[in-house]
Every structure is written in structure tokens, then in C-alpha cells.
Amino acid sequence: MHAVADTEHLVIDHVGHRGDGVVSANGMSVYVPYALGGETTEVEQVTGHPDRRRLIKVERASPERIAPFCPHFGVCGGCAIQHWDAERYRAWKREIVVATLAQAGIGCKVAPLIDAHGVGRRRITLHARMGTHEVLKVGFAAANSHDIIPIDRCPILDPHLDGALEAAWALAEPLISVGKPLDIQITATNSGLDVDVRGSGPLATALIAKLSGVAEQHRLARLTRHGELVLMRTAPVVSIGTAQVALPPGSFLQATVAGEEALAALVADHCKRAKHIADLFCGVGPFALRLAAKSRIAAFDSDAGAVTALQKAATLTSGLKPLKAEARDLFRRPLMPQELRDYDAVVFDPPRQGAQAQVTQLAASKIPTVVAVSCNVTTFARDAKILIEAGYTIEGVTPVDQFRHTPHVELVARFVRKR
């Protein structure tokens, strides 16, 4: 915990892009987590962070303030906003996209925000650490801190993650003896919970046996350590379109089922006239396997395990057009213009750092339609400018909110080559 200094009284101006209340003080922007615009607050300075304050109390609340629904809110760092009226929250989240694009000089229509929280998050990463007095802590990181907040329940999770927290605690108890901090990734699948534990290092045979017993007791579909199999009761499988995909250990999936479906529906609509599509940064195929119902697909990703799972699922699913998946690092070896000649459309969904190297090659190509999916509006804006400056027109952006209660927002945009 950071030491704190003197208290002060601040009137918050607005909520910033990270979800903090923002006010100008002594010529600089100051950030106050959990405060809303117009509120009068009592705050403490945070030593070592001159631009941050800790909220002590709200002296005069905004009429837009509501009661948070989670008892851990304000301590756990998982959610930034549960205390704001839903309509104002939705307007703020859309405005993040509008303002970031405007700042980058990109003028385009921004559609209404799509709420894609659905029934909740289907994957989580819990942290396990030994705290003071040798007390085990399993939970999420505290806001703006490396401290772990022990969690016994989380109301934003998909019901299919029921039992995940109990399983994480049970796995951490024997593993914490190795003396290393642990990260426990848990994904809800059609077959049950898929768990990958990282941070433990090599384990003795007796400890692996103990973990196998925990996995059996909690009826985990699969337990892996750094991707290495400890126990599999049944293969973890998820449905993507008409396909069933057997997940590699620690696989990336969109945070919610509703989020994946919303993004995929937008992508499909933007590609509906394309007969041959390249899906870049394809992962296990949330777009490719759905697009293959009507179009030929070439899919590329650096994750060889994901590519293998995608190819196998496509091969075993009847009624799909030809789909070829290839492992390729698109940061180091982007598809070049001559390799892109045969495609009617390209879809790309990169990690948070964006896809500058690949987009530069797309900009030099003659692809008629490019569909961008992004989880970072800032890197999206950078990549979008490359396409626009090369002659593409951006037809619009649709923001998608699958990370409800946080400042994170997804988006889908369509670019067309000027004729």
C-alpha cells in the first residue's frame, strides 16, 4: 500500500477514459478513482503519485451515482465503474471511441454501443500469493496495486464458471508451498472448467498427484501447468458457429459468449458479399468458422496450437466451405500485397498493440474490403490512419461492450478501397 499525505477537497469535473474522476488542480490533471463528474470529494494524496488521489468520501454526490452491486467494488481492481447510472455509463463508453478517433483526426460515424456482457465473463485469471502471517490469498489484484484481494464470489461471472473460485483456492493451497506467486487461468467450456496454472515451475511427482486429486474432486474438465497436462477428465470444447473446437491449454477466447457473437455478427455483415476471405490473427476461429458457412477462408495466427485446433474443427464440421489455417507470425511476417491478391476481403483482429506491420501491407494492396476488430481504440486509430491515407474510406465504427464496468471497449470497423 502507498503511504498517504494530506487531505483536500476537490470538485470533480468529469470521468476520464480510464474511469477515474478528473479535476484540474495546481495546473495538472488529477485522477480520483470512483468519483463522478460534479461531485464534491474529500481525497488523500498518494505518495509517489502526484497526479493521483485516494477517495476518502463523497461529500456531495452526483444524482447519477448508484449503489455498486459487488461487496468487493472499490477494493478489487477488476471493475472501475459500478457506481454510475447505466445510461450515462453507456454514453461515456461510446464517447471514449468518439473522442479518441476525433483526436486522431478520423471522422466517421460511430454507431450506438452494443451491450455484449450477456450472462457474464467466461474466463478469469486469479492470482494466488502468500500474504502476511503466512495467510494464503486467492483473488484479483487491488486497484492500482499488486496487493491481492481475496475473493469468495464475483457477480459478473458467467454461471458456467460456478465452482471456479473454490477450485482456484483448492489448487493454490498445495502449490503455494513452492514459494512462487501463481496465476490461475480458468475458462468455462461446454465440458466444464479448463484450468491452466502458471508460475509454479517444475513440480515433484507427489505434488502433481495431489493436484490431480483436486482436479478430480472439483470435476475439472482439464488441469494443465504452463500448458503441460496434469489431468484431463474430458476434452474442453467450445461451440463456434456449427463447429465444436477442442481448446488448447490456456487458449484466448473473447471474454463473453455474447461478445464473441456480437463481434462475429458485425464481421459477417461487413463481409457478406466476399467469396474468399483472409482472417488474420484468427485464434481458434471465432470469425473464420462462422464465415466459412458462406465463404472460402484462409486463416493465419502465430499460435500454432490455436491454428491446429481451428483446422481440426473445420475438418470435422460438415457444411463449411474450404478453410485452410496456417501458423504465421504476422508481426514478423505480415502477408504481402502479392499474397493478398486472391481475397475479396480481409478481417484482422490483433492483440492490444494493434497490427501496424500487417496494416502497412494491407494499405499497399488492392483488397476491396478490410474489416478491423480491435480491443484498443488508440492502436486502432493509428492503424486506421494508415489505411485511410492509402486511399481506403472508413464506413463507420461500432463499439461493443463485453467488458462491462471497465473502461475497455471493443470495436468493429469496415474500410473500402476507393475505386
The per-residue pLDDT for range 194-217, each reduced to its tens digit, is: 999 998 888 889 999 999 999 999
Q: Is the dihedral of CA 51, 52, 53, 55 positive or negative?
A: positive
Structural contact between residues 401 and 93, judged by C-beta atoms closer than 8 angstroms: yes
Structural contact between residues 374 and 88, judged by C-beta atoms closer than 8 angstroms: no
pLDDT digits (tens, 9 = 90+) for 238-282: 999 999 999 999 889 999 999 999 999 999 999 999 999 999 999
Q: Which of helix, strand or coil describes residue 410?
A: strand
Give the orientation angle of helix 164-175 with respect to helix 205-217, to 10 degrees. 160
- Residue count of the chain: 419
Q: How many CB atoms lie within 10 A of CB 177?
A: 10
User: Which DSSP helix (H) or strand (E) runs through 103?
Assistant: helix 86-103
Predicted model pTM? 0.94
Q: How many CB atoms lie within 10 A of CB 257?
A: 21
Q: How many helices (H) and strands (E) does the chain have?
A: 8, 23
Q: How many CB atoms lie within 10 A of CB 53?
A: 26
Query: Would you state the cell numbers that stand for residue 358, as one nine-digit string?
Result: 500487417
Structural contact between residues 117 and 256, judged by C-beta atoms closer than 8 angstroms: yes
Cα–Cα distance, 177 to 187 (Å, whole number): 25
Check residue 4 and give its pLDDT: 45
Structural contact between residues 267 and 291, judged by C-beta atoms closer than 8 angstroms: yes
pLDDT digits (tens, 9 = 90+) for 273-329: 999 999 999 999 999 999 999 999 999 999 999 999 999 999 999 999 999 999 999
Structural contact between residues 321 and 294, judged by C-beta atoms closer than 8 angstroms: yes
DSSP string, 165-180: HHHHHHHHHHHGGG-S
Output Rg (C-alpha) for the chain, integer angstroms. 23
152 φ, ψ (degrees, to nearest 5): -110, -15
Q: Is the pLDDT of residue 2 over 70?
A: no
Q: Is the pLDDT of residue 135 over 50?
A: yes
Q: Is the pLDDT of residue 5 over 60?
A: no
Q: Is the pLDDT of residue 415 over 50?
A: yes
pLDDT digits (tens, 9 = 90+) for 33-62: 999 999 999 999 888 888 999 999 999 999
CA angle in degrees (0–180, nearest 5) for 103-347-383: 25
Check residue 179 and give its pLDDT: 79
Strand segments, DSSP code E, in 132-174 are 136-141, 148-150
Percentage with pLDDT > 90 across the chain:
87
For each of the domains in the chain, give its residue range(s) and CATH number, in order of start: 4-65 (2.40.50.140), 92-117+253-417 (3.40.50.150), 123-238 (2.40.50.1070)
Cα–Cα distance, 65 to 87 (Å, whole number): 11
Q: Which one of the listed residues 76, 79, 271, 375 is annotated catalytic?
A: 375
Amino acid at residue number 58 = V
| Buried b or exposed e, range 273-285, using 16+ CB within 10 angstroms | ebeebbbbbbbbb
Structural contact between residues 245 and 225, judged by C-beta atoms closer than 8 angstroms: no
Query: Would you state the cell numbers that stand for residue 396, as one nine-digit string?
Result: 463507420
Please say if 79 is a catalytic residue: no
Check residue 419 and give its pLDDT: 64
386 φ, ψ (degrees, to nearest 5): -60, -45
Q: Which of 408, 409, 411 is nearest to 266 (CA)?
A: 411
Average pLDDT of the residues in 360-389: 97
Check residue 3 and give its pLDDT: 47
User: Which DSSP helix (H) or strand (E) runs through 397?
Assistant: strand 392-401
Residues in Cβ contact with 170 at an 8 Å cutoff, skipping those fewer than 6 apart: 214, 217, 218
Structural contact between residues 307 and 281, judged by C-beta atoms closer than 8 angstroms: no
